Amino acid sequence: MIPGDGGGQPDMQQLLQQAQKMQQDLAAAQQELAESIVEGSSGGGLVKASVNGTGELEGLVIDPKAVDPEDTETLADLVLAAVRDATASAEQLQQQKLGPLAQGLGGGGGMPGLPF
């Protein structure tokens, strides 16, 4: 090694700084997702579900018109459909927020060895 040539150190330092920034960006995006709320509905709006950006159910609203004591199966189906609709919206939000970051970390020629 020739004194003063850096021995490749600046490149490694730069890579580490880029990885640290990507990690910070990913953490910020994950926090934003956890705080974001998306909604889904079914039955023409009779059942509405709210989930956060990570897919956790936050709320459920059932219009009284959807409640038939003689037919609880339909109500259960409406609830499932609304939750699935909201979860699909959360997945789209995740792709918007995390997709570019995950690709930069490993999917498309990013940093090898990282779990993305």
Which of the following CATH numbers is that of domain 35-100: 3.40.630.40, 3.40.50.300, 2.120.10.80, 3.30.1310.10? 3.30.1310.10
Exposed e or buried b for every residue in 36-63, given b needs 16+ CB within 10 A?
A: bebbbbbbeebbbbbbbbebeeeeeebe
CA gyration radius, the chain: 23
Residue 18 has pLDDT above 80, yes or no: yes
Residue 105 has pLDDT above 70, yes or no: no
Mean pLDDT over the full length of the chain? 82
SS3 state of residue 35: helix
Per-residue pLDDT averaged across 52-74, rounded?
Answer: 93
Domain boundaries, the chain: 35-100
Residue 80 has pLDDT above 70, yes or no: yes
Cα–Cα distances in angstroms (integers) from residue 106 to residues 12, 91, 109, in the given order:
17, 20, 6
Question: Which residues have CB under 8 Å from 2's CB, separation 6+?
Answer: none
Q: Read off the amino acid at residue 67.
A: V
Q: Read off the amino acid at residue 46.
A: L
- State the pLDDT at residue 72: 94
Gap between the Cα atoms of 65 and 106, Å rounded: 49
Per-residue pLDDT averaged across 21-46, rounded?
Answer: 89
What is the pTM assigned to this prediction? 0.66
pLDDT: is 106 or 35 the higher one?
35
pLDDT: is 47 or 54 the higher one?
47
